[in-house]
């Protein structure tokens, strides 16, 4: 498949410059900058409350930034809705997947974009075309359906993620944003989803992979942006950092160091078994907090 834009791999398909988002007096994001290139997996890392969800909503057109620039294919854009983001080629797969579990895989695959055929004066859902297309698109990413008319509720979590990813790719996504796609999956299913992420990358798509699981991010990521309490620690290429450093930044190194000191002080006041356990915990935290 050809590169989905006219950009070279040296030019970002998405660029955020000093993005800030405030809700009244509360600043959710401040000074966030990142660049996503075609054929790249850019991992957005952060613990709960880091600002990942707010940034996703800006990228997908749900929220407008309060300050900063949003560039798509070197052009400044102001997204007014998720539909406008989709029209540009920015597809977001949220955690809830926006699927209807009691409807068939085929109907979910084409939800809102149903192929039609004419029957007399009426246009009706083209069931045969939809079923054939769904089966073929899922086969391309390694899923062989028993029956495209089976309900989505019968699929495993990993298979549902695969359907959502295949749907986004089929409808021309240039950018694929995945919101915690492996968070509720077992080890084997998570590995399957990571494989689909790599396949999307090899098709020329830029992938933003949001997760708090550094191990999953490290397995597929090319670049990593770490958020903590609405601020960015920066973006790091894989060759420029290591997994333990990313973990330390996500956890907040200074907070771990402060907690280690506090536990050590408590341990010194208590010479019993509890104090010894606190001292060992302080040593462990101190080790984790080192860059």
| CATH 3.40.50.300, the chain: domain bounds | 14-104+167-251
What is the model's pLDDT at position 255?
52
What is the model's pLDDT at position 3?
46
Dist. CA 213–CA 7, nearest whole Å: 31
pLDDT band at 64 (very low <50, low <70, confident <90, very high): very high
pTM: 0.78
pLDDT tens digits for 8-24? 567 899 999 999 999 98
What residues does 91 pair with on adjacent strands? Answer: 176
Letter string b/e over residues 187-204, b meaning 16 or more CB atoms within 10 A of that residue's CB: eebbebbbebbebbbebb
One-letter-per-residue 3-state SS of the chain: CCCCCCCCCCCCCEEEEEEEEEECCEEEEEEEEEEECCCCEEEEECCCCCCHHHHHHHHCCCCCCCEEEEEECCEECCCCCHHHHHHHCEEEECCCCCCCCCCEHHHHHCCCCCCEEEECCEEEECHHHHHHHHHHHHHHCCCCCCCCCCEHHHCCHHHHHHHHHHHHHHCCCCEEEEECCCCCCCHHHHHHHHHHHHHHHHCCCEEEEEECCHHHHHHHCCEEEEEECCEEEEEEEHHHCCHHHHHHHHHCHHHHHHHHHHHHHHHHHCCCHHHHHHHHHHHHHHHHHCC
Dist. CA 23–CA 4, nearest whole Å: 35
pLDDT band at 4 (very low <50, low <70, confident <90, very high): very low
Dist. CA 34–CA 228, nearest whole Å: 15
Among 152, 208, 162, CA closest to 185: 162
What is the model's pLDDT at position 253?
53
Asked if residue 230 lies in contact with residue 28, where contact means CB atoms within 8 angstroms, the answer is yes
pLDDT band at 72 (very low <50, low <70, confident <90, very high): very high
Task: Look over the chain and give the mean of its residue pLDDT values, rounded to a whole number.
Answer: 83
Task: Please identify which residue in the block is written with the tokens 């208590």.
Answer: 270
Six token digits for residue 242: 């290591």
14-104+167-251 classified as CATH 3.40.50.300 = yes
pLDDT tens digits for 240-257? 888 888 888 877 655 545
Task: Please give the average per-residue pLDDT across 197-218, as a whole number.
Answer: 90
pLDDT band at 273 (very low <50, low <70, confident <90, very high): low
Task: Please give the average per-residue pLDDT across 212-220, as a whole number.
Answer: 90
Cβ neighbours of 184 (radius 10 Å): 12
One-letter-per-residue 3-state SS of 177-233: EEECCCCCCCHHHHHHHHHHHHHHHHCCCEEEEEECCHHHHHHHCCEEEEEECCEEE
Does position 275 have pLDDT exceeding 70, yes or no? no
Asked if residue 196 lies in contact with residue 182, where contact means CB atoms within 8 angstroms, the answer is no
Task: Please give the average per-residue pLDDT across 190-214, as a whole number.
Answer: 89
Dist. CA 275–CA 273, nearest whole Å: 5
């Amino acid at each position: 498949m050809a590169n989905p834009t006219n950009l070279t791999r040296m030019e970002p398909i998405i660029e955020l410059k000093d993005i800030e988002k405030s809700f009244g007096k509360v600043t959710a994001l401040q000074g966030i900058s990142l660049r996503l290139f075609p054929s790249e997996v850019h991992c957005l890392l952060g613990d709960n409350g880091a600002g990942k969800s707010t940034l996703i909503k800006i990228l997908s057109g749900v929220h407008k930034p309060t300050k900063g620039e949003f560039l798509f294919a070197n052009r400044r854009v102001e997204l007014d809705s998720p539909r406008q983001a989709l029209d540009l080629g920015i597809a977001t797969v949220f955690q809830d997947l926006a699927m209807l579990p009691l409807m068939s895989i085929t109907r979910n695959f084409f939800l809102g974009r149903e192929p039609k055929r004419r029957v007399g004066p009426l246009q009706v859902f083209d069931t045969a075309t939809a079923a054939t297309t769904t089966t073929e698109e899922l086969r391309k990413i390694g899923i062989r359906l028993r029956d495209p008319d089976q309900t989505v509720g019968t699929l495993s979590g990993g298979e549902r993620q695969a359907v959502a990813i295949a749907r986004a790719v089929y409808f021309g996504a240039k950018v694929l944003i995945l919101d915690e796609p492996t968070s509720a999956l077992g080890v084997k299913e998570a590995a399957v989803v990571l494989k689909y992420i790599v396949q999307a990358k090899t098709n020329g798509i830029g992938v933003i992979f949001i997760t708090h699981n550094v191990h999953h991010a490290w397995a597929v990521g090319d670049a990593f942006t770490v958020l903590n309490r609405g601020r960015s620690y920066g973006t790091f290429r894989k060759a420029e950092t290591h997994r333990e450093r990313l973990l330390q930044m996500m956890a907040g190194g200074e907070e771990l160091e402060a907690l280690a000191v506090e536990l050590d002080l408590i341990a010194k006041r208590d010479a019993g078994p509890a104090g010894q356990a606190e001292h060992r915990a302080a040593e462990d935290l101190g080790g984790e907090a080192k860059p």
